[in-house]
Amino acid sequence: MKVLLTGANGFIGRNIAVALTNAGHHVKPVSRSHGIDFCHMQAEADWLPHLEGVDAVINSVGIIGESGSQRFEPLHTLAPAALFRACSQAGIRRALQISALGADETAFSTYHLSKRAADDCLRSLELDWFVLRPSLIYGRGGKSADLFMRVAALPLIPVIGDGRQELQPVHISDVVATVMQSLTSSETRQTLDIVGNETVTFAEWLQWMRRAQGLPRGRLLHVPLPLAMAFARLGRHFNPMLQPENLRMLQTGYWADVQRLEQFLGRMPLPVEPRLFFSDAMPEGSSS
Ligand SMILES: NC(=O)c1ccc[n+]([C@@H]2O[C@H](COP(=O)([O-])OP(=O)(O)OC[C@H]3O[C@@H](n4cnc5c(N)ncnc54)[C@H](OP(=O)(O)O)[C@@H]3O)[C@@H](O)[C@H]2O)c1
């Protein structure tokens, strides 16, 4: 297949690109580094010339915080919606959207709402679609995973409140495996939450990250949510990930029922192991 892959040089996208190439598919990469900026791709006509000869489309462009011209509405909603409608027009049936866990009816953040708007657009089209909603993803080179690794290595580990927010982090291997399965599965038109098989508190997750870095368990610094939000308001000028909204999303947790993913993959997601924190997506069946 010839697969148009947006976000092809991002954390998720580059891992998908490797798996696609290894499976014998041809990747047509899209990103600003490949000369295509989503800010200028908001009409179907912008996409149609790029869709010639394409058999399937995967959208993995996204940002975790706004900065400069990088805004949620054009990147998460307008450009992907235009891409999906262009697929419909060009007769490309298979379209996969990398959304995010929490982009559902409970969404409150601009991040989740902008993702959900594109998901809704895709779900409204007569295509063989998949909306994939990963939890926090860990693995080599993920931006949020790297930030948490750095936080975990601090002498005093800051956590929000009691640090008992529930997470089900998932390894990049399971995300890529779900994407690859979605590309060929005959059971289309599915919204799938991609979560790991273990639920862990945020504080404990950071301790696991310490252990993976060869550090002993650390002491926690409990920061009340309002104070953490005030720090984030200052910090966002240095790192777009430090947004008060992101802390509120973290506060609500990242977890879901793993059963549907297990059925879809025909196996459970990978158990957490220290080496996986530093690993790219591994080919199916090679993890043991
Ligand atoms: N990582 C996670 O834990 C996680 C969890 C759940 C959901 N997600 C979602 O998955 C998606 C990808 O995440 P990621 O971790 O792979 O992010 P990433 O590593 O930051 O990659 C983002 C990708 O989007 C491209 N991009 C950014 N702005 C663009 C623009 N204006 N026009 C065209 N391309 C643009 C980037 O390439 P250029 O910079 O070269 O343009 C890059 O390829 C995001 O929507 C994210 O919200 C991620």
Complete DSSP assignment for the chain: -EEEEETTTSHHHHHHHHHHHHTT-EEEEESTTTT--GGG--SHHHHGGGGTT--EEEE----SS-BTTB-HIIIIIIHHHHHHHHHHHHT--EEEEE--TT-STT--SHHHHHHHHHHHHHHTSSSEEEEEEE-SEESTT-HHHHHHHHHHTSSEEEEETTS--EE--EEHHHHHHHHHHHHH-SS-SEEEEE--S--EEHHHHHHHHHHHTTPPP-EEEEE-HHHHHHHHHHHTTT-TT--HHHHHHHHH-B----HHHHHHHTSPPPPP-GGGGG--PPPTT---
- From ligand 1's centre to the CA of 61, what distance in Å? 4
CB of 169 sitting under 6 A from ligand 1: no
Q: Is 31 a pocket residue for ligand 1 (Cβ < 6 Å)?
A: yes
| Residue 110: per-residue pLDDT | 97
> Angle 110-123/244-252 helices, nearest 10 degrees?
70
Q: Which atom of ligand 1 is nearest to 33's Cα?
A: 40
69 HSE (CA, 13 A, CB side): 5
Bridge partners of 13, per DSSP, are none
Radius of gyration over every alpha carbon of the chain, rounded to an integer in angstroms: 19
Residue 261: closest CA among 202, 199, 177, 183? 177
Centroid of ligand 1 to alpha carbon of 222 (angstroms): 31
Please give the chain's pLDDT, 288 residues, in tens.
999 999 999 999 999 999 999 999 999 999 999 999 999 999 999 999 999 999 999 999 999 999 999 999 999 999 999 999 999 999 999 999 999 999 999 999 999 999 999 999 999 999 999 999 999 999 999 999 999 999 999 999 999 999 999 999 999 999 999 999 999 999 999 999 999 999 999 999 999 999 999 999 999 999 999 999 998 888 888 887 888 899 999 999 999 999 999 999 999 999 999 999 999 999 888 865
- Residue 167 contacts residue 135 (beta carbons within 8 Å): yes
60 CB less than 6 Å from ligand 1? yes
The residue among 4, 90, 78 whose CA lies nearest residue 41 is 78
Atom of ligand 1 nearest to the CA of 134: 6
Look at residue 288 in the predicted model and tell me its pLDDT: 58
Atom of ligand 1 nearest to the CA of 74: 31
pLDDT of residue 235: 83
Ligand 1 pocket member 11 (CB < 6 A)? yes
* Residue reference for tokens 């040089």: 9
- Indicate if ligand 1 lies below 6 Å from the C-beta of 80: no
Q: What is the number of the ligand 1 atom nearest to the C-alpha of 138? A: 3
User: 124 C-alpha vs ligand 1 centroid, how far in Å?
Assistant: 24
Atom number of ligand 1 nearest to Cα 8 = 43
Contact by Cβ (8 Å): 17, 27: yes
**Residue with CA nearest ligand 1 atom 44:** 62
Residue type, 160: I
Q: In this structure, which residue's CA is closest to atom 21 in ligand 1?
A: 10
| Closest C-alpha residue for ligand 1 atom 45 | 62
- The whole-angstrom separation of Cα 142 and Cα 14 is 11
Ligand 1 atom 35 nearest Cα: 31
Give the C-alpha separation, 176 to 98, whole Å. 11
Residue type present at position 34:
H
Distance CA 127, CA 9 (A): 26
C-alpha 40 to ligand 1 mean position (Å): 16
59 lines ligand 1 (CB under 6 A): no
Entry field: residues in the chain: 288
Tell me which residue has its CA closest to atom 8 in ligand 1. Answer: 100
